[in-house]
Structure 1
Amino acid sequence: MTDQDVGPIDYLVVEFPGAQLKGEALAALIDLVEQGIIRILDLAVAMVGDDGSFTAVEITDLDGDGTLDLAVFEGVSSGLLDDDDLAESAALAEAGSAVGLLVYENTWAGPFVSALRRAGADVISSGRIPADEVIAALDALENA
């Protein structure tokens, strides 16, 4: 077992309807990385064709205008993702959309998990509750 602090690894698949990629989310992602909250392991983007096929897009120039949109993430690849993962992600999106696939480590949790292991404990399960389910539950409680 490694002595390195490693946090839980998560992934997100994001659909960009009409392939409209805007910069606000990118700025938030960069901020999370700069604060050391997450570490990006993989970032891939594909365009979904009208027939459901997909084409991987270079991360550095998503809109093809010659401007390096995501140059900060150029070359980000741990090798965890492959073409099958991108194909599965693209299959979730509507034709004419772009799809982004992000694999990241929750670096904030690494020291905590390592401390648990040093104390003889081990994380035996983890999960994620979708945000829309949490919001719905909170709304139901508020309206009760």
Structure 2
Amino acid sequence: MTEYEFETLGPVDYLVVEFPTGEANFTGEIVAELVKLVDAGTIRVIDMMILTKDDEGTIDAMELSDSGDLGDLLRIEADLAELLAADDVANLAAAMDPGTVAGVLVYENLWAAPFAAATRRAGGQLIADGRIPIQSIIASIEADAAAEKSGE
């Protein structure tokens, strides 16, 4: 990346999506939605990887370019930075269950890049961030609805 790109870089996030062995399908709808996000300028893909964890807990990491037919991902794959190191892979794989496969996506939030750059130019820095899992939001809403129903 150039100095200019670093100055305008937006927040960078990662996702790890786990599938049971034999049920991983990284094409089709998932790829179509990812390509839409890239084409709309919402995100920029920085790195993608496929991790497998066998029943004994042995990890195998495969760069997307080594995974065969990329289809619509070919255009996105050409711009990847291969940012993830071996320690990153080990840390991400620690969250996986044995006998599963996971897709790892590292991406820049282009939609937030102008705000992030302006914040840095003003002397600010991000000191905390987080994400609320959708399962937690659903559980909270359901708990509130149950409490209202029971009159609590």
Alpha carbons of 1:139 and 1:114: their partners in 2 closer, same or farther (altered >3 Å)? same
Q: Distance in 2 between matches of 1:112 and 1:42?
A: 23
Which residue type is aligned with residue 68 of structure 1?
Answer: L
Matches within 5 A, 1:56-75: 56-60=61-65, 62=67, 67-69=69-71, 70-75=73-78
Q: Which residue of 2 aligns with 1:37?
A: 42
Q: C-alpha displacement at 1:54, in angstroms?
A: 2.0
SS in 1 for 2:118: helix
Q: Which residue of 1 aligns with 2:144?
A: 141
With normalisation by structure 2, the TM-score equals: 0.74
Are positions 1:54 and 2:42 aligned together?
no
Asked whether the equivalents of residues 48 and 82 of structure 2 are also in contact (C-alpha less than 8 Å), the reply is: no
Q: Distance in 1 between matches of 2:102 and 2:134?
A: 20
Matches within 5 A, 1:1-16: 4-16=7-19
Q: Distance in 2 between matches of 1:125 and 1:58?
A: 29
Q: Which residue of 2 aligns with 1:115?
A: 118
Q: C-alpha displacement at 1:81, in angstroms?
A: 0.8
Q: 1:131 aligns with which of 126, 129, 134?
A: 134
SS in 1 for 2:7: coil
Task: Give the aligned CA root-mean-square deviation in angstroms.
Answer: 2.7
Alpha carbons of 1:122 and 1:52: their partners in 2 closer, same or farther (altered >3 Å)? closer
Number of positions where the alignment pairs a residue of Structure 1 with one of Structure 2: 141
Are positions 1:104 and 2:96 aligned together?
no
Q: C-alpha displacement at 1:95, in angstroms?
A: 3.0
Q: Which residue of 2 aligns with 1:27?
A: 32
Q: Distance in 2 between matches of 1:9 and 1:113?
A: 11
With normalisation by structure 1, the TM-score equals: 0.77
Q: How big is each residue's C-alpha offset from its partner over 1:67-120, in whole Å with a ceiling of 9 and x where there is no partner?
A: 335433435543431122222323322333211211111110011222334455
Q: 1:89 aligns with which of 87, 92, 107?
A: 92
Which stretch has the larger CA shift, 104-113 or 127-136?
Answer: 127-136
Q: Percent same amino acid at aligned positions?
A: 43
Q: How big is each residue's C-alpha offset from its partner over 1:19-78, in whole Å with a ceiling of 9 and x where there is no partner?
A: 42322112111111111111111111122223211222342464xxx6335433435543
Larger helix proportion, structure 1 or 2? 2
